[in-house]
């Protein structure tokens, strides 16, 4: 879709869609797939697209003929951040349990 404006008899504007629009188009291409999913999976699918939307600026700065790669990389990035947060939580929880065990021994 062309987004532009009229300027002195010439249409000026964006001829290349924003990466955010590319993500939306990507999501629309997967509509039939999404329709076949169970509700919980549909929600998860939307979360995946939201991960990609968070990194639209980075995707825009990585012009690639296939949007699939930057979209997947955005999703992987968000998953990596989640794994790191969970790992830190587990480590902190284990340190707390070790401290409680040493106090119980006294």
What tens-digit pLDDT sequence spans the chain (106 residues)?
A: 445 544 455 555 666 788 899 999 999 999 999 999 999 999 999 999 999 999 999 998 887 788 899 999 999 999 999 999 999 999 999 998 877 766 565 5
Residue 51 covered by a domain: yes
Residue 47 covered by a domain: yes
Residue 72 covered by a domain: yes
Q: Print the domain residue range for 94.
A: 19-105
Residue 9 covered by a domain: no
Residue 10 covered by a domain: no
Residue 32 covered by a domain: yes
Residue 14 covered by a domain: no
CB 38 within 8 A of CB 18: no
Residue 61's φ and ψ, nearest 5 degrees, are -80, -5
Residue 56 CB neighbour total at 10 angstroms: 19
Alpha-carbon gap, residue 64 to 34, rounded angstroms: 25
**What is the model's pLDDT at position 2?**
46
CB 13 within 8 A of CB 4: yes
| Nearest CA among 20, 49, 79 for reference residue 1 | 20
What residues contact residue 67 under an 8 Å CB cut-off, 6+ apart? 19, 22, 23, 25, 26, 59
Residue 8 covered by a domain: no
Number of domains making up the chain: 1
């Amino acid at each position: 879709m062309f987004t532009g404006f009229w300027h002195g008899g010439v249409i000026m504007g964006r001829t290349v869609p924003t990466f955010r629009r590319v993500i939306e188009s990507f999501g629309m291409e997967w509509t039939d797939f999404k329709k076949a999913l169970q509700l919980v999976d549909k929600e998860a699918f939307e979360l995946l697209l939201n991960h990609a939307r968070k990194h639209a600026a980075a995707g825009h700065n990585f012009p690639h003929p296939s949007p699939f790669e930057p979209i997947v990389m955005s999703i992987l990035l968000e998953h990596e951040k989640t794994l790191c947060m969970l790992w830190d939580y587990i480590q902190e929880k284990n340190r707390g349990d070790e401290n409680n065990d040493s106090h119980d021994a006294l």
